[in-house]
């Protein structure tokens, strides 16, 4: 019987033998291999890798699920069927045996009744015919007739033939009707061989039935497990593999979703998980792209900052030595702070022919564009001072205006540049204690004790395209310098400080700046300028600066004042 042929115990679970495998249906790994997955790691069951799913999928024999179900369920069913069939056969056999016994007893009783009469044994014609009639029964085996003394009167058949358990024996006394002594005894044996045959047939049928049942069971189980369990599970496994390789394929349901079907529920949960993983993965990729973009920006920014840092070194090297006027009897302090490392503010200090030249310029724009303009201004100023030998501030401004406009091609048609600069120039003549000032857009501020004056030059700056007929003109102011007087050339970045949270949110303005400067008149100029810088920062309160700032402060060195003529 097949149950004995493959008992579950014969193949211990951990190391499944090949016997079952080979006989069974297609193996789990076959379909994976057919799907293009080959696993090298499966040979080492202990080795868990990131792709552990592969190993687990491999180690788990999906087809063995059908085997397991078969091996667990079938023996029970087979035993139940067998026991039931045998039980039915046994009951049948017993009933038949009972009927046979009754039949034998009835036949014996009828015959005995027919024979019974006084002195029956003396006349054989009375009983012989009767007893012989018993042989007509196909089951008849033997009959023995004895008289009252127990001697055999007649014996038919062979009482010894056949096995005793296949023989049913009945006895009937020959009685005279009253309660008198028995006149004799008839012993009848009939064969029960048919019964045994029937029982055997039934047993064979039971076995055959279980065999057929097994076959039908195996086929049905496999077909159903394959269709309803293995196929969806394999789809799920394949989908898991895809997901392992970051291909976000959902698992397909072969029918409409049924909430009562566990595999459908699992598949749906899996799909939700895939969705979650996909969005997570997408978010990760986006983050990665963002990080890359951020990195690029950072690189670009560093490049730009390095470049601008280099530009600042160049612009700083174009600026003069702050001590350039030390020999001319002037105390000078400078605050030069571009908004973005480099800027459009420029200053120049030079001692030439016994004169001190102080220039502050505020070119349009700040940052790199502003810095370009300062280089044009620096070059032009150098030529005006050294090649053309100009010492007159108004003349210098006038010439600078022309040179800048020529350099930026603002004097011709189709000019694209709308740039220019504010500029203030002071020429210090120590021998006369005089300062000659000319400004275009830049004022000269003087503080003498409590008196603050601002000498505004021309309203218009230098450069810029001119309107037809427009002519640059600037006045010159000559100042007599007295001890205690301090002079300042500053760009509007100094006064245009936006206060953060003050009501009205207004600019510090010229008065605000001169108030600060006036309160530190006794301090050395360098300290005065440093205090101004700190005070400006305090006024802004975190509000960003709006512009480049430059301030050149100067005054005659104390005790160095030549006698006024």
Partner 1 sequence: MGPPTMDRIQLAATDRSPQVDFDFASGHLSLRGESYPEDAAAFFGPLLQSLRAHLAETSATPIVFEVGLAYFNSSSAKALMNLFMPLEDAAGAGRPVTVRWRFAEGDETIAEAGEDFAADFAHARFEMVEEA
Work out how close the CB of 542 gets to partner 1 at its nearest, in angstroms, rounded to a whole number.
13
Smaller CB separation from partner 1, 362 or 401? 362
Q: Considering only residues 150, 469, 504, 542, which one is a binding residue for partner 1 as defined by CB under 8 A?
A: 504
Distance between CA 324 and CA 60 in Å, rounded?
Answer: 90
Work out how close the CB of 544 gets to partner 1 at its nearest, in angstroms, rounded to a whole number.
9
Smaller CB separation from partner 1, 161 or 506? 506
Strands 184-191, 330-337: pairing is unpaired
Q: Considering only residues 228, 294, 480, 511, which one is a binding residue for partner 1 as defined by CB under 8 A?
A: 511
Q: Would you tell me how many other CB atoms lie within 10 Å of the CB of residue 82?
A: 17
Work out how close the CB of 505 gets to partner 1 at its nearest, in angstroms, rounded to a whole number.
5
Smaller CB separation from partner 1, 226 or 546? 546
Distance between CA 162 and CA 196 in Å, rounded?
Answer: 13
524 touching partner 1, by CB under 8 A: no
Straight-line distance from the first to the last Cα atom of the chain, in angstroms, rounded to the nearest whole number: 142
Q: Considering only residues 41, 496, 518, 520, which one is a binding residue for partner 1 as defined by CB under 8 A?
A: 496
492: its two tokens:
């509007």
Cβ-based burial of 439 (10 A; exposed 0-12, middle 13-18, buried ≥19): buried
Give 180's contacts (C-beta < 8 A, 6+ positions apart). none
Smaller CB separation from partner 1, 98 or 505? 505
Q: Considering only residues 492, 532, 554, 555, which one is a binding residue for partner 1 as defined by CB under 8 A?
A: 492
Work out how close the CB of 419 gets to partner 1 at its nearest, in angstroms, rounded to a whole number.
9
Distance between CA 3 and CA 78 in Å, rounded?
Answer: 8
282 touching partner 1, by CB under 8 A: no
**x-or-dash pattern for partner 1, window 308-347, by CB under 8 A?**
----------------------------------------
507 touching partner 1, by CB under 8 A: yes
Work out how close the CB of 288 gets to partner 1 at its nearest, in angstroms, rounded to a whole number.
32
* H or E element at residue 18: helix 18-23
State whether the Cα torsion 157-161-167-170 is positive or negative.
positive
Which residue shows structure tokens 């000032």? Answer: 437
515 touching partner 1, by CB under 8 A: no
Q: How many CA atoms lie within 13 A of 24 on its CB side?
A: 25
Stretch touching partner 1 by CB under 8 A, among 46-54, 165-173, 398-406, 496-504: 496-504
Count of residues interacting with partner 1 (CB under 8 A): 23
Ordered alpha helix ranges (H), 387-508? 393-407, 492-495
Smaller CB separation from partner 1, 246 or 506? 506
550 touching partner 1, by CB under 8 A: no
Work out how close the CB of 559 gets to partner 1 at its nearest, in angstroms, rounded to a whole number.
36
Smaller CB separation from partner 1, 350 or 547? 547
Stretch touching partner 1 by CB under 8 A, among 168-176, 208-216, 290-298, 489-497: 489-497
Q: By CB under 8 A, what part of segment 409-438 binds partner 1?
A: 418, 422
Distance between CA 441 and CA 495 in Å, rounded?
Answer: 14
Q: Considering only residues 111, 142, 189, 495, which one is a binding residue for partner 1 as defined by CB under 8 A?
A: 495
Distance between CA 85 and CA 212 in Å, rounded?
Answer: 14
Smaller CB separation from partner 1, 188 or 458? 458
HEC profile of 179-223: CCCCCEEEEEEEECHHHHHHHHHHHHHHHHHHHHHHHHHHHHHHH
Q: Considering only residues 109, 546, 557, 561, which one is a binding residue for partner 1 as defined by CB under 8 A?
A: 546
215: its two tokens:
């076959």
Distance between CA 473 and CA 471 in Å, rounded?
Answer: 6
Q: Are 37 and 84 in contact (CB under 8 A)?
A: no
State whether the Cα torsion 414-419-422-428 is positive or negative.
negative
Q: By CB under 8 A, what part of segment 443-472 binds partner 1?
A: 459, 461, 464
User: How far is residue 159 from each of residues 130, 163, 188, measured CA to CA in Å?
Assistant: 18, 10, 9
364 touching partner 1, by CB under 8 A: yes
Work out how close the CB of 367 gets to partner 1 at its nearest, in angstroms, rounded to a whole number.
9
Stretch touching partner 1 by CB under 8 A, among 95-103, 327-335, 358-366, 515-523: 358-366
Distance between CA 159 and CA 141 in Å, rounded?
Answer: 7
152: its two tokens:
């055999």
* DSSP secondary structure code for residue 340 in this structure: B
Smaller CB separation from partner 1, 398 or 492? 492
Smaller CB separation from partner 1, 362 or 398? 362
543: its two tokens:
């509000």
Q: Considering only residues 362, 381, 433, 539, which one is a binding residue for partner 1 as defined by CB under 8 A?
A: 362
498 touching partner 1, by CB under 8 A: yes
**x-or-dash pattern for partner 1, window 373-412, by CB under 8 A?**
----------------------------------------
Smaller CB separation from partner 1, 507 or 518? 507
* H or E element at residue 413: none
Smaller CB separation from partner 1, 277 or 452? 452
State whether the Cα torsion 283-288-289-293 is positive or negative.
positive
Work out how close the CB of 507 gets to partner 1 at its nearest, in angstroms, rounded to a whole number.
5
Smaller CB separation from partner 1, 147 or 419? 419
Distance between CA 317 and CA 239 in Å, rounded?
Answer: 68
Which residues sit at the interface with partner 1, rule CB under 8 A? Answer: 362, 364-365, 418, 422, 441, 459, 461, 464, 492, 495-496, 498, 504-511, 546-547
């Amino acid at each position: 019987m097949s149950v004995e042929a493959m008992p579950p115990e014969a193949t211990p679970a951990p190391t499944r033998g090949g016997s079952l495998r080979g006989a069974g249906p297609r193996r789990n790994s076959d379909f994976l291999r057919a799907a293009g997955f080959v696993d090298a790691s499966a040979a080492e069951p202990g080795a868990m890798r990131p792709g552990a799913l592969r190993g687990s999928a491999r180690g788990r024999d999906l087809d063995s699920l059908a085997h397991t179900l078969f091996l667990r369920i079938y023996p029970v069913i087979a035993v139940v069927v067998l026991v039931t069939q045998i039980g039915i056969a046994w009951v049948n056999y017993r009933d038949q045996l009972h009927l046979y016994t009754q039949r034998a007893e009835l036949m014996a009783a009828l015959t005995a009744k027919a024979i019974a009469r006084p002195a029956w044994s003396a006349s054989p014609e009375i009983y012989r015919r009767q007893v012989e009639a018993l042989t007509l029964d196909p089951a008849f085996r033997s009959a023995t007739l004895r008289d009252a003394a127990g001697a055999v009167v007649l014996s038919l058949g062979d009482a010894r033939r056949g096995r005793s358990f296949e023989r049913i024996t009945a006895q009937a006394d020959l009685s005279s009707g009253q309660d008198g002594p028995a006149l004799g005894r008839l012993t009848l044996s009939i064969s029960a061989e048919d019964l045994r045959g029937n029982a055997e047939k039934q047993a064979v049928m039971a076995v055959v039935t279980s065999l057929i049942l097994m076959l039908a069971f195996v086929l049905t189980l496999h077909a159903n497990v394959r269709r309803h369990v293995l196929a969806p599970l394999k789809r799920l496994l394949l989908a898991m593999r895809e997901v392992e390789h970051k291909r976000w394929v959902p698992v397909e349901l072969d029918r409409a979703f049924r909430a009562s079907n566990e595999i459908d529920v699992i598949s749906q949960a899996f799909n939700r998980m895939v969705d979650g993983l996909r969005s997570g993965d997408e978010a990760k990729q986006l983050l990665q792209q963002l990080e890359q973009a951020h990195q690029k920006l950072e690189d670009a920014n560093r490049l730009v900052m390095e470049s601008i840092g280099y530009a600042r070194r160049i612009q700083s090297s174009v600026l003069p030595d702050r001590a350039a006027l030390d020999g001319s009897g002037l105390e000078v302090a400078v605050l030069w702070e571009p908004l973005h490392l480099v800027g459009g503010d420029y200053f120049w200090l030079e001692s030439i022919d016994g004169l001190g030249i102080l220039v502050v310029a505020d070119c349009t724009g700040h940052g790199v564009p502003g810095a370009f303009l300062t280089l044009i201004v620096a070059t032009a100023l150098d030529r005006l001072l050294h090649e053309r030998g100009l010492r007159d501030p108004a003349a210098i401004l006038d010439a600078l205006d022309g040179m800048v406009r020529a350099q930026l091609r603002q004097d011709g048609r189709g000019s694209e540049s709308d740039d220019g600069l504010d500029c203030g120039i002071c020429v210090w003549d120590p021998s006369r204690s005089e300062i000659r000032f000319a400004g275009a857009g830049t004022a000269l501020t003087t503080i003498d004790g409590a008196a603050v004056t601002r000498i505004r030059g021309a309203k218009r700056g230098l450069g810029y395209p001119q309107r037809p007929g427009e002519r640059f003109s600037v006045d010159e102011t000559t100042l007599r310098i007295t001890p205690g007087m301090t002079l300042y050339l500053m760009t509007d970045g100094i006064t245009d400080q936006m206060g953060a949270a003050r009501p009205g949110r207004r600019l510090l303005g010229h008065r605000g700046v001169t108030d600060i400067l006036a309160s530190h008149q006794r301090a050395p100029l360098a300290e005065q300028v440093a205090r101004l810088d700190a005070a400006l920062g305090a006024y802004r309160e975190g509000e960003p600066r709006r512009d480049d700032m430059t301030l050149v402060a100067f005054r005659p060195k104390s005790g160095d004042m030549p006698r006024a003529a």
